Amino acid sequence: MEGNLTVLLHSGSRGLGYQVCDDALAAMREGADRHAAPLPDPQLVAAPASSPEGRRYLAAMRAAANFAWANRQVMMALIERAMTRIFGGDRESFGFALVYDVAHNIAKLEEHEVAGARRRLLVHRKGATRAFPAGHPEVPSAYRAVGQPVFIPGDMGRPSFVCVGTGAAMLETFGSAAHGAGRTMSRHAARRASSGRDLLKEMERRGVLVAAHSPKTLAEEMPEAYKDAADVVEALRVAGIARPVARLRPIGVVKG
């Protein structure tokens, strides 16, 4: 609804998830010869999902995803506490309500149609998120009539978007959509491009207050370092993969 205040929180399992991945890569490299999997790149090592390495990794990945969920719940509670302290009132008077929490950079067992037959697949989503359509049994009941919420976060100077999944996504992308716009320049290039600029003042002139862990973080996350999320959302709409339903204009950004 226009005029509502929305908080977007983007965080995950952080160091735990990295360690899970690091340990799994080492275990899968050791088993690569046994699984007769040629490796075009050491980072692309894999193992059958039914193998001991595969089962251990999937279990550890799910544990990391659960940790990430708990991490976000704690952070949201801290955000609520900060807002009520600053603005007064309490949780009820503010009307705090979680719209949706979703994981990305994850693999999930799902049923999809392949060559006219239903198959159970392990769908890997990297930089992508689920975009299931209205009526899909795995869409939470609160959203089943409209489709799964799909968040497309923008940069700190331009809007973010909320979309919903579509039936076309199930046929074209295994029920997946982009999770963000992606970078136009590396972190190093962004730091170099922002040299001599007062990014805090620039953002303030655009009506956005920014708090960053360090000037380095601020430079790496400047708006020009990312594609415009509006262009990505339009591409998703034209492709029929996701339908935009809300546009969120930034007014305050915290970069960790």
Residues of the chain with pLDDT under 70: 1, 36-37
Choose the catalytic residue: 112, 136, 179, 213.
179
pTM attached to this predicted model: 0.89
**Could you give the count of Cα atoms lying within 13 Å of 162 in the half-sphere of its Cβ?**
18
State residue 95's pLDDT score: 82
179 given a catalytic annotation: yes
**Could you give the dihedral angle defined by the CA atoms of residues 236, 242, 244 and 246, in that order, rounded to the nearest 10 degrees?**
-120
- CA–CA separation, 139 and 146 (whole Å): 9
CB neighbour list of residue 135: distance below 8 Å, 6 or more residues apart: 144, 145
Rg (CA), the chain: 20
Q: Which residues pair with 151 in a beta bridge?
A: 162
Residue 78, SS3 per DSSP: helix
The tokens 């900060």 sit on which residue? 82
State residue 37's pLDDT score: 65
State residue 142's pLDDT score: 94
State residue 34's pLDDT score: 77
Q: What is the largest CA-CA distance in the chain?
A: 62
Structural tokens at position 81: 């506490």
How many other β-carbons are positioned within 10 Å of the β-carbon of residue 125?
20
